[in-house]
Amino acid sequence: MSILQIKFESDRILRRKSAVVKVIDRKIRRLLDDMLETMYHASGVGLAAPQIGINKRLIVVDVGDEGQGPWQLINPVIVSRSEDEELGAEGCLSCPGIVGDVWRSAEVTVRAYDIEGNLIDIQAKGFEARCFQHEIDHLDGRLFIDIAENIRPAQENEAAAECEDCGGSCECCHACSSGAAAEE
């Protein structure tokens, strides 16, 4: 597996709609493995193919104990959303050093193909639902900064990320304090 270079906000590929993957082969599976390794290396919780310069509908998500992953998904789409929304801090590996508050559905159902080519439905809630929405936005050329409120330096979010139960050591707090909540 390989660590891939992450593209930043100014890269035009991040603003393009990604192409549907038509064949799930060894090359796609290897790319998904490389994406997962790249995400972990960057201390992220999600990564979309455009973020590594690949115009394909591929994402990886792993929110640790708060979710069901790691997920390696091909052609993911959100097929249902809860009416309940939550405001939460998000960051992005492609927009380092900043966070912003984004309204997202509290629960989503994602339909995608897994690496074996099986069509699956994933019911996600909370932080994991937020991550899926964030990553799928990338596939449509949208960055969190397009819809975020209160964009600020990630360092300002560190104090807010501390929670009483874990002292800031849980996956959610770690992601927020590293400027990576809900994605990367």
Active site residues: 135
Residues 6+ apart with CB under 8 A from 146: none
Distance CA 88, CA 103 (A): 7
Calculate the alpha carbon distances from 155 to 7, 42, 74, 83 in Å. Answer: 22, 17, 34, 32
- Asked if 153 and 97 touch (Cβ cutoff 8 Å), the reply is yes
Distance CA 77, CA 65 (A): 23
Q: Taking the C-alpha atoms of 107, 100, 137 and 37 in order, what is their torsion angle to the nearest 10 degrees?
A: -90
Q: Which residues of 89-98 are buried (b: 16+ CB within 10 A; e: fewer)?
A: bbbbbbbbeb
